[in-house]
Amino acid sequence: MFITSLHKLMSKSSKILFLLTLTFLINISQTANVVTADQTGQNPINVKSSLITSEFPKGIWLDIEVVSESKITEISSRLKIGQTKGTTYNYLCLNEQNKNSESWRCKDIVPSKNIKATLFWRTDTSGKYIPQGTLIEISFEIKDEKGNVLITPTTNFAYLDPNFKWEDISEGPVTLNYHGPVKSRAQKILDAIVETLEKVGPVLGADIDDPIMVTMYNNGKEMIDAQPPQSSTQGRELITEGQAFSNFGTLHLIGGDRNSIGTASHEVTHILVHRAGEGVFRKVPTWLNEGLAEWANIDPAMSYDIALEFAVATDRVPVITKGITMPGKPEDAIIFYGASRSIVTYLISEYGAQKMYSLLYELKSDVKLEEAIQKVYGFDTVILENTWRNKIGAKEYTENKSSLIVPTAKPIKTIKPFSLNDNSQITKGGVEINPDDTNTKPSTGCSLFAVNNTANIDLGILGLFIFLILFKSKLD
């Protein structure tokens, strides 16, 4: 009664203010019992112990023991995996003795004042793969039957193979994990990565403060064993010197390789390009991504200039700006790298680093490449292709217009719409019949069902019409 009387007396603005205040008070009452674990003495829920264990490459074990004055009803975990967007939210399960990752199945916890809970987060499938060395932020949320909630502080966990004794060195946002007596080599690679960040970050407009995790392997076998499941077979046939997992902010490389400095510089640039130019729906074109990575390389492994000169002399320069992918043949791949680096170097040297920054900014906004180049540089991709080709002495590219020509359509007869007058044309057996050619008389109403238009009676429709009449009379 009071609420009804108050509702009549209040103005519209007062009603809105009242509802907002009421909503705020309700939210306060609901969240007043939510605290973090480091706020001691304010919550009846306490964490006795917690443990995070790597079982690389199969997955990660999350274990926690919790006590409370009231029965605990729910325990969940929050995982922020590398630099990926979003947080993974999972419920923990009943902890059992003799845990086995192969046979583990989740069993719901039974409410109790003392609970041991566990979760095995698999990483050995293509959909859940996490690169070794990735930094994972983990926290727990515990609820009891009285509505008390406890959120634990975030723990940073580096996902590494426990069969090795890992050490790490860091500088700025970069952390490099290695094992064995190779610290001096690891330090040289770390220095090269930091130098590349300082050189390339401002040019690309990439965030160089976010963590970058580097895992250095001592040989190719170690690196192959750490690759995604679907690429293990291929990896045994083709050993790469390094690989960037850009969305995770993680980099793998072979430290003992003679090209490891250049590989580290090249691959970390891929992470920066991803941060600076990767949109939600569009990826940075391969030629631009690889071209920037080689432009930024502080220790290139081979002379791509020689490969590009050979391509110019033999008319094998690829049409870079037309979205071609990485060629399969090794010699074509080397030419592709050389051409990509050359055209990127041309753009930066001729038009400045600021325009490259702007180009990546447009791409990150999911603008098409052609539109982004036109907006930033004031010309299209064909002009870019040919001004660069002219610079290196390559043959001019001519866009193939034949694929854009639409064949001339053959004229067809005009099909008039069905109407209820005597000028209607009725098709029978695929032949157009004009009412003037038949022995019919003008009539009012639908000529299709006219009794005197026997030549044009459609027996199927007539039968349906009779059926409807009989059906209706039966209902009556």
- Distance between start and end Cα atoms, the chain: 55
Contact predicate 252/224, CB 8 Å: no
Average pLDDT over residues 335-352: 95
Please, what are the domains in the chain? 46-158 (2.60.40.10), 164-277 (3.40.30.160), 300-400 (no CATH), 426-475 (no CATH)
Per-residue confidence band for 52, with pLDDT thresholds at 50, 70 and 90: very high
Considering the entire predicted model, what is its pTM? 0.74
Q: Which residues is 75 bridged to in the sheet?
A: 142
Peptide bond into 300 cis (omega under 30): no
pLDDT in tens, 276-321: 999 888 999 999 999 999 999 999 876 788 999 999 999 999 999 9
When pLDDT is cut at 50, 70 and 90, the band that residue 97 belongs to is confident
- Two tokens, residue 54: 């790597």
Task: Give 444's pLDDT tier (boundaries 50, 70, 90).
Answer: very low
In the prediction, which pLDDT does 202 show? 81
| DSSP for residue 104 | -
pLDDT at 83 over 90: yes
Whether pLDDT at 404 is above 70: no
The stretches of 152-279 forming alpha helices (DSSP H) are: 183-204, 220-225, 232-237, 260-277
Backbone torsions φ then ψ of 11, nearest 5 degrees: -80, 175
pLDDT level of residue 1 (50, 70, 90 thresholds):
very low
Average pLDDT of the residues in 207-228: 91
pLDDT at 216: 97
Q: Which helix (H) or strand (E) holds 54?
A: strand 46-55
> How far from chain centre, in Å, is Cα 288?
19
What mean pLDDT is predicted for residues 112-132?
A: 94
Cα–Cα dist 431/64, whole Å: 81
Which of the 8 DSSP states describes residue 33? T
DSSP readout, 404-443?
GPPPPPPP----PPP-SSTT--EEETTEEE-GGGSS----
Residues 6 or more apart whose Cβ sits within 8 Å of residue 266: 242, 293, 294, 296, 297
Q: Is 16 helix (H, G, I), strand (E, B) or coil?
A: helix
CA dihedral 264, 265, 268, 270 (to 10 degrees): -120
